[in-house]
């Protein structure tokens, strides 16, 4: 039972990035194989489940990178504008169940780069420095991508009212 929940959590991480059930299942399976083959490289400075989750996320991103580039670096000037715009509109800190469902529906529609950053930040709990390390972008680009993702979601929800 515990293994099934853990595998489902890993699958959810992969599918949010890949948006393809078969690819997500393959990534999770390959990640478990990789984890057990490289078990000696596991350093106990992080929980074991976090280590495997990182493998799943990295493999999912690698799979997407093979298809096409995920992110475009943005100038700091563009980033500053987006942060101000986000602060003005306000993304809900603790949305209710209905708002969460609206966010989930709009999350699925996000462009790939935005969706990945949003997922890594909100669903996986990584901070911008960690996201930068995982994705190979700068922390400011991560912040900007997240801000733009939130803004797209807010605009879509407000348009649907």
pLDDT by 10s per residue, the chain, length 161 = 767 888 899 999 999 999 899 999 999 999 999 999 999 888 888 888 889 999 999 999 989 878 765 554 444 433 333 333 344 445 555 666 787 788 888 988 999 899 999 999 988 889 999 999 988 899 999 999 999 999 999 899 888 76
Phi, psi of 90 (to 5 degrees): 75, 115
CATH architecture designation of domain 2-67: Orthogonal Bundle (1.10)
**For tokens 């595998």, what's the residue?**
7
What is the reported pTM?
0.67
Could you tell me the sign of the dihedral formed by the alpha carbons of 96, 7, 70, 74, in that order?
positive
Domain boundaries, the chain: 2-67, 76-159
According to CATH, the topology of domain 76-159 is Arc Repressor Mutant, subunit A (1.10.10)
Alpha carbon distance, N-terminus to C-terminus of the chain: 41
CA distance 42 to 31: 13
Domains 2-67 and 76-159 share a fold: no
């Amino acid at each position: 039972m515990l293994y099934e929940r853990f595998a489902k959590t890993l699958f959810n991480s992969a599918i949010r990035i890949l948006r393809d059930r078969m690819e997500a299942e393959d990534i999770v399976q390959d990640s478990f194989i990789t984890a057990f083959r490289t078990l000696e490289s596991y350093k106990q400075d992080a929980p074991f489940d976090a280590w495997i989750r990182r493998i799943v996320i990295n493999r999912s991103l690698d799979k997407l990178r093979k298809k096409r580039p995920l992110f475009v670096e943005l100038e700091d000037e563009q980033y500053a504008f987006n942060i101000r715009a986000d602060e003005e509109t306000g993304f809900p800190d603790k949305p209710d169940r209905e708002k969460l469902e609206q966010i989930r529906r709009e999350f699925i529609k996000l462009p790939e780069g935005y969706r990945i950053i949003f997922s890594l930040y909100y669903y996986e709990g990584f901070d911008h420095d960690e996201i930068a390390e995982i994705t190979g972008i700068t922390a400011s680009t991560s912040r900007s991508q997240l801000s733009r993702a939130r803004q797209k979601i807010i605009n879509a929800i407000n348009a649907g009212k």
